Amino acid sequence: MNKIISLACTFFIVFTPLFLPCPAFAGTRLFEDLKSEYLLLRNRDPLILNPSQWLNLARKIEKVGCKRLNNTECDQALFMAATLYVEIAKRKNLPNFDSSRHALILLRDVSGRGGEYADDALARAVEFYRSIKNAKAAESATQELKVRFPGSEFVAVVSAELEGKNVSSRKTLVGARVSPASVDVVLDPGHGGDDLGAQGYAGLLEKDVTLSIAQLTIGELKRSGITYAVTRRGDDFLPLSSRTKFANQHNAKLFVSIHANASLRGTNRGVETYILDSNQSANTKLLVERENGPEASDLSLMLGDIIQREKRPEALKLASLIQNHIVLKLKESGFNTPDLGVKRAPFFVLVGTHMPSVLVEVGFIDHSDEGRKIGTEEYRAAVASALASAIKEFLAAQKSN
C-alpha cells in the first residue's frame, strides 16, 4: 500500500506541472483581458471623468508587464501603462498621485530595453516633456532619439514639433519618400491588432468590420480599373501617423479611412462622413477621443488642419459623394440606415495627408439592430459597393476638370 501511495505521489509531483498553465501563457491571457478592459474604459470614459478607474487599470497592466510576460509583451504592457499615466496626468485630477513621474519612469524603462517599442517610448517621452513645458528634457530626449534610432519615423515628427518648423517643412518631412507607383486611392481599415476599436453587438469588433469592408471595396475597385493601396491587409496594429505616411508615400489622389461607430448608451444609429477640422462639436467629442486614442497631439492637429485647408473643398465633395452613395445603397439593399450627414472633426488619422481625405463611420456596431446588420456580409458589401462608386465618380470629375 505504501508503495502505491509513493508511486501516486511521484506521478503527482512529476506530471501535475504539465497540466498547469504556464506562468507566461497565463500572463498573456491576463494581458489580453486587460487590453480589452482598456478599450472598453476608453470607449466609456474618454474624458477620464473617473480617474481612479484608469489608475487602477494602469497599475494592473504595469504589474502584469513586470512579472508575467515575455520581453516583447512586457514592453507593450509597460508602454500601455505609461500611456494611461500620461492621460491621467493631462487631466490633473489625481493630486495625490504623481502620474507624470510614473509615466516617464516607464517610458524611459521601455526605451532603455531596446525592444520594438523603444523608439515609440522615447518619442512619447519627448511629447510629454513638451506638454509639461520641460524644453531642456525634450531637446535631450530628441537628440537621444536621433542618435539611437536614426531610421525611426518618429525622428522627423518630434524634431518638427520641438523646433517649431513651419508647415511647408512639415509637409516635406511627412511622407518625403514617395513610391514610384502612384495610386488613385489609399483605403485605411481603422484599428487592428491590439487596437480592437469599438466593440458591439454579439462581440462584433470594429477592426474586423473595417478590414472586411476594405477587402470588399478592393474587389469593386479592381472591376472599375481604379488603382489602390491598403494600409493593412491583415489584423495588424498601425500607428495613426504611419497610415498618413503610407498614403503620402503612395502619392495617392484620395485617402479614405473606414470606421464603425459606437455610442455611450448603444442607442445611436446612422452613417456619417468626416473631413478634417481643428474645431469640433460637443456631439463629436467622444467619438474623436475614441478614434484618436493617446497618439494625437494638439500641435499636430493644428498643423494638419492648416495643411488640409487647401484640400478642404475637394475633401468636402468626396465626403458628400461617399455619404450619399452609402445611404442610397443601403436603402436600396433594404437597410433603413439614418443619414447623419457630412461633418467636421479633428481626426488624427487625417492629419498631414497631402490629398483630399475623409473618415467614414459606416454605422453603430453597438446598436442592437444596426450592429446585427453590420455583422452581415450583405450590409458590408453594400457599403463597399457605395464606396467604390463614390470614389469612381470623384476621380472621373477630377479628370474632367
CATH of the domain at 55: 1.25.40.10
pLDDT of residue 360: 98
Closest CA to 160 of 133, 179, 138: 138
The half-sphere exposure of 33 on its side-chain side, counting CA atoms within 13 A, is: 8
- Kindly state whether residues 189 and 311 are assigned to the same domain: yes
Coil/strand/helix, residue 362: strand
Contact criterion met (CB below 8 Å) for 348 and 301: yes
- Kindly state whether residues 209 and 85 are assigned to the same domain: no
- Kindly state whether residues 259 and 390 are assigned to the same domain: yes
User: Containing H/E element for 28?
Assistant: helix 23-44
Instruction: Please report, in tens digits, the pLDDT of each residue of the chain (401 residues total).
Output: 555 555 555 544 444 444 444 444 455 777 777 876 775 666 566 667 788 888 898 888 888 877 655 677 788 788 888 888 887 887 665 666 688 888 888 888 888 888 777 887 888 888 788 878 888 888 888 888 888 888 765 676 566 554 444 333 333 223 333 344 689 999 999 998 878 888 887 788 999 999 999 999 999 999 999 999 999 988 888 888 788 888 888 999 999 999 999 887 788 999 999 998 765 554 554 554 555 455 444 434 444 444 456 678 899 999 999 999 999 999 999 998 999 999 988 787 887 788 999 999 999 999 999 999 999 999 999 999 999 999 999 999 988 87
- Kindly state whether residues 147 and 231 are assigned to the same domain: no
**C-alpha to C-alpha distance for 350 and 243, rounded to whole angstroms:** 9
- Domain assignment present for 298: yes
| Residues of the domain holding 148 | 23-164
**C-alpha to C-alpha distance for 354 and 346, rounded to whole angstroms:** 16
- Domain assignment present for 197: yes
Counted domains in the chain: 2
The pTM (predicted TM-score) of the whole model is: 0.56
- Kindly state whether residues 148 and 39 are assigned to the same domain: yes
CA-CA-CA-CA torsion sign (231, 290, 129, 63): negative
- Domain assignment present for 17: no
- Kindly state whether residues 61 and 115 are assigned to the same domain: yes
- Which of 164, 194, 209 is the C-terminal boundary of a domain? 164
- Domain assignment present for 171: no
What CATH number is given to the structural domain containing 215?
A: 3.40.630.40
- Kindly state whether residues 215 and 154 are assigned to the same domain: no
- Domain assignment present for 327: yes
- Kindly state whether residues 198 and 77 are assigned to the same domain: no
In which region does residue 84 sit, left (phi positive, over 0), alpha (psi from -120 to 50) or beta (all else)?
alpha
- Kindly state whether residues 286 and 219 are assigned to the same domain: yes
- Kindly state whether residues 80 and 192 are assigned to the same domain: no
Cβ neighbourhood burial of 22 (10 Å; 0-12, 13-18, 19+): exposed
- Domain assignment present for 70: yes
- Kindly state whether residues 389 and 241 are assigned to the same domain: yes
- Which of 164, 196, 223 is the C-terminal boundary of a domain? 164
- Domain assignment present for 35: yes
Query: 230 pairs with which residues across the strands?
Result: 187
Q: Which residues of 176-203 are buried (b: 16+ CB within 10 A; e: fewer)?
A: eeeeeeebbbbbbbbbbebbbbbbbbee
Rounded to 5 degrees, what are φ and ψ at 338?
-60, 145
- Domain assignment present for 3: no
**AA letter at 396:** A
- Which of 131, 164, 197 is the C-terminal boundary of a domain? 164
**The three cell numbers locating residue 143:** 537628440
Contact criterion met (CB below 8 Å) for 342 and 316: yes
- Kindly state whether residues 254 and 189 are assigned to the same domain: yes
Contact criterion met (CB below 8 Å) for 256 and 315: no
pLDDT of residue 273: 96
pLDDT of residue 397: 93
